[in-house]
A and B are shown apart, each in its own frame.
Chain A
Amino acid sequence: MKRKTFAGILRYIRPHLPLVVLTLLTAAAVVAANLLTPFFAGRAIDCVAGKGAVDWRRLSVYLASIGACALSGMLFQWLMSLMNNRIAYRVLADVRRDAFAKLGRLPLKYIDARAYGDVANVIVTDAEQFSEGLLLGFTQLFTGILTIGGVLGIMLAIRWEIALVVFLITPLSLFVARFIARRTFKTFKAQAEARADEAAFADEMIANLKAVKAFAREEENAAIFEEKAEKVRRASLKAVFFSSTTNPSTRFVNALVYAAVALAGAFFVLSTAGTAAAFSVGNLSTFLSYANQYTKPFNEISEVLAEFQNALACAARLFELIGEEEESPDGALPPLGRAEGDVCAENVAFSYTPERELIKDFSLHARPGMRVAIVGPTGCGKTTLINLLMRFYDVDGGAIYVDGKDIRTITRSSLRENYGMVLQDTWLKTATVRENLCMGRPGCTEEEMIAAAKAAKAHNFILRLPEGYDTVISEDGVLSAGQKQLLCIARVMLCRPPMLILDEATSNIDTRTERIVQQAFAALMEGRTCFVVAHRLSTIQTADLILVMKAGRVVEQGTHAELLEKGGFYSELYYAQFAG
């Protein structure tokens, strides 16, 4: 798991390796400039020993050095940020692209089993956390370690005794940081739980506010919410407070280091005064600056490490998605070509989960132009059939043939090209009407598109839209359910596929539109092999074959007359509906 994640990270960083190395080099230069400044400043202060004892020549050299450090530091820091951003955002875009392309190749099983929001979050949020947390964090970590090492090195070189003092107090700062981090983590977890509980409640109640109001539950809910909000308040107070103690605490450790350095430094200045290895006031200044600078990276590192944990978890989810097993590739298979529309299922067995057998021994033969009605109560598994016919899922046993070819021996895309699909759940893209209509035939002419729209009775209302065919459709835009369905029909009309899969459900459509949709459906079905999830008696009665489904299984099949005669589930359904 961990190894897979790291392998994934490496794979995305490798193309940018030269840039990464360059970034690290500039980072080192930035650190150097940062560290040299107090050193030169210390020397410079040594040059201003007292009245009339200012060494102007050396002072100007040191000040010029500071200036040089400042300018080069500026340049390098700027370069470092630029390269850093370039790498992080490029990797981010790459990862997102790959994850998204992956969506098109994953078995639908994967997509069906997960909430859309969750998967979308992996591509959007997790990817971002990964790239920013890991890549930007890495540079921070690198500069932090360099700074600590550099500071200790310079201090050791100037006066190892004082460096030792600093060195000895260091563990204290680490200890404090660790202690706070642990407490903080616990309180944050408690806060997250309390918050999730409150959010779940609010989500449920606000999203269904009308039901709440229908039962006049406002007061009870307010009391429950108040209680939950109080819990969050208590947990948050702890979490926020503990996390905010980091700064003052490290400042305090800082103050200790500072005082210790001042004390030891001052004594050294006194005791070494006049000797060859004199510890000057300037040295003291250098040390004080370092003491100030040097606890900061510790904080940063502990922050970065916490961030890393999170980023790694995100990366793990991301690479799990990217590494997820894909649909069996079919690039080497021959395409189907234009089918006649002869569909045959032989002894098909299928189940979503091994424990629950769903379809067993299902056979069917639909000859070109035949109309097959699928009937049954809601949730009886009509989509399962669509899943198998269009090979969104593969059968577990038996086989499905189109024009005598096992659909597993041809490319998926050529199979789907031969089907037209209009589902009850009318999915349209956030794009113009035109783009939506031409989805199946991107190269079609304006005339062809309009002809299809006219055939689907959609042309007139499209013209009434604010910008006609160029109106952008959005998820909850201006279109009614019926209009959306008409667009979906037109979309299929334009492709003229030999086989159709339709869901007749028109429960969201008013009667007038429904009639129009029916006419459009009828025009569409003309001369094609159709599988219709039927809701209307006329469709059922005139079907060449009726499949009756119940609880995921095909329980009966035959014509209307045959099934009525049989007196089974179909006849029960039929009489309940129309004679009840």
Chain B
Amino acid sequence: MELLVPLVVASVVDVGIAQADKGYIVHACLLLVGFGVLGLAFALTAQYFAAKAAVGTSAELRKRLFVRMQSFSFAQIDDMGAPSMLTRMTSDAQQVQTGINLTLRLFLRSPIVVLGAAAMAFVVDVYAGIVFLAVIPLLAAVVFSVMAACTPRHRAVQEKLDGVYLSARENLAGARVIRAFRMEKKEAAAFSKQCDGLEKAQVGVGRIAAVMGSLTFALVNLAAVALIWVGGVRVDAGVLEQGDVLALYSYLALVLVELIKFANWIVTTTKAVACMRRIGAVLDTEGEPKQAAASCDKIEENAPHVSFENVSFTYAGGGAPALSGISFTAARGETVGVLGGTGSGKSTLVSLIPRFYEATEGCVKIGGTPVGSISAKTLRRGIVGYVPQKTVLFRGTIASNLRWGNGEATDAELMEAAKAAQALDVLEAKGGLDAPVEQEGRNFSGGQRQRLTIARALAKKPEILILDDAFSALDYATDARLRAALKELDCTVFLVSQRVASVMHADKILVLDEGHIADMGTHDELMARCGLYREIYISQTEAEA
């Protein structure tokens, strides 16, 4: 549409003005307005569909990402890390959206306009067309070479900027230590240096980018000189008319505008492509199998409630096995304490029960059925209640959080769970079940969160309750009351702790040492025969022993 405009104007000059035909001029100008209206209509339609496509794609990508990430196994979550997953969901998806939108809008327009302008120039006059043929590649060469030079430098700038951010954040997090060591000035000097480096890099990129603007400006105007000169020669020879020269000049202006847009497009798409690749990497990762092999959700009655049969486990990429040769059984209703230092494999051991990780060797069974053949949903929702080390609540209310495991629980049931979890005073302090919970439960203290997460697990009335170091933020008195309350419940409890005091009253204590069971038994048995247990006990209660 726009390509026709110069031709119409040319005809205004060559026909309308030359023959003093006012009616022709008016018609031609109305035609121009008509082109404008049509152009607007087409453009708006195109924009609408471009936006729809881009936005739709991004929404679909995000949904798929979310679903795919949720299907990841714990091992995959460890591998990828939450921050990296979130960037893909937010900024990467956004970049892709912008990229698609711009591509649809520009790519369908710019090359057509540029090539079209050149083609029209040929239609007007072959010689003038040749000027275009010479200029367009030159312009393209300038634009592309400048961009090629800038891209790696842009990346360097980005890296330096990340460094600046890291320093700022680190200094905020370490404010106390930095002041304690009187490092304020030194840190400021180091930061200043970083800023200088960044400034230098930025100015460097700017210097190259500046070349593009000025060179294209010069090129196009010099092309105009050539064009009018050639036009002059052709007009002199009577091949062209004055209006044609005018039209050619207009085409040149069009080319310039589009090339600049095109350059922008390339910047955006290179980013978008990189982002899409990162998203693709997630989407191409297979999540954990929904359910291994044969499905068998029924639990046999007479088998031990939980049994580990010569279980070994190695984290992906983590050389030495985290657990090896673990065998034990737990009867229904028993409390099993798991004791050991960090890295001894306590958490790993209990996370094999709800199949967060799959045993590399051996077999974990619940009621005689291998956990691998129980669907994850049945296992995690119906059978096992799990209280993780990292206590986290979710945005909503206390009630909505407690109902996480059991959507149908009545208020009375929730209160009961809260009571067992020693969380009644939390409810009281915050204003009952409907008290609001902020993102990640920020408005609760660590101890309050810990008790609520225990209540959350209890609310679903699990057959097996796993408390993974879930008492660490509780004072000893609350810890003791909570343990007494758990005894009342009809479920098999796994209690992971660093504190001897927390596990010493369990029916069975597993003492872990570097992935092996060093010994198991009751407190008294272990005191009598297990050196490691005694050592831990003494180190924690020295004076009494």
Contact = CB atoms under 8 A, between A and B. Distances in A.
A63 B225 contact: yes
Nearest to A101: B188
A284 to B, nearest CB: 7
Given A63-B229, A82-B206, A215-B381, A206 B86 contact: yes
Interface stretch (B38-46, B143-151, B415-423, B488-496): B38-46
Interface stretch (A41-49, A343-351, A364-372): A41-49
A252 B36 contact: yes
Interface string B201-234: 0110011011101110110111011001101110
Nearest to B176: A392
B477 interface: yes
- Category for how many chain B residues contact A: 35 or more
Interface residues of A, number: 155
B182 A96 contact: no
Contact of A248 (B43, B62, B246, B439): B43
Contacts of B535: 511
Interface stretch (A263-271, A300-308, A526-534): A263-271
A513 B44 contact: no
Contact of A423 (B32, B176, B439): B176
A495 B177 CA distance: 14
B250 interface: yes
Contacts of B105: 244
B48 A507 contact: no
B44 A245 contact: yes
A9 interface: no
A131 B86 CA distance: 29
Question: By CB atoms of chain A within 10 A, which of B58, B178, B341 has the most?
Answer: B341
Nearest to A128: B161
B70 A218 contact: yes
Given A97-B195, A119-B172, A580-B480, A37 B77 contact: no
A203 B439 contact: yes
Nearest to A203: B86
Interface string A217-235: 1100110011001101100
B282 to A, nearest CB: 11
Interface stretch (B272-280, B303-311, B359-367, B537-545): B537-545
A48 B228 contact: yes
Interface stretch (B235-243, B316-324, B329-337): B235-243
Contacts of B85: 206, 209
Contacts of B210: 77-78, 81-82, 85
A240 B344 contact: no
B175 A248 contact: no
B51 A240 contact: yes
B243 A281 contact: yes
Given A45-B249, A233-B59, A430 B170 contact: yes
B130 interface: no
A281 B479 contact: no
A566 B245 CA distance: 106
B181 A439 contact: yes
Contacts of A104: 171, 178-179, 184-185, 187-188
Nearest to A383: B176
Given A103-B172, A221-B70, A251-B39, A537 B188 contact: no
Nearest to A65: B225
Given A49-B242, A251-B40, A59 B229 contact: yes
A206 B168 contact: no
Given A77-B214, A86-B203, A578-B501, A111 B395 contact: no
Contacts of B187: 100, 104
Interface in B433-482: 439-440, 445-447, 456, 460, 472-477, 479-480
Nearest to B45: A248
Contacts of A229: 59, 62-63, 66
B176 A204 contact: no
Given A63-B229, A225-B66, A266-B25, A427 B173 contact: yes
B82 A207 contact: yes
Interface string A69-102: 1110111011001101110011011001100110
Interface in A103-120: 103-105, 108, 111, 116-117, 119-120
B498 interface: yes
A89 B182 contact: no
B381 to A, nearest CB: 4
Nearest to B344: A510
A54 B475 contact: no
25 contacts: A48-B245, A67-B221, A70-B222, A75-B214, A77-B210, A92-B195, A93-B198, A100-B168, A103-B171, A104-B171, A104-B185, A111-B172, A215-B456, A240-B101, A247-B43, A255-B5, A262-B29, A392-B176, A423-B177, A429-B174, A511-B340, A536-B542, A537-B543, A573-B477, A580-B476
Given A54-B235, A248-B39, A285-B246, 14 more contacts: A73-B214, A78-B211, A101-B191, A111-B172, A207-B440, A248-B43, A378-B447, A386-B176, A429-B170, A440-B181, A511-B539, A515-B539, A576-B480, A580-B476
Which 9 residue pairs are nearest across A and B when measured between Cβ atoms?
A510-B341, A255-B36, A104-B184, A70-B221, A377-B475, A81-B210, A85-B206, A248-B43, A51-B238
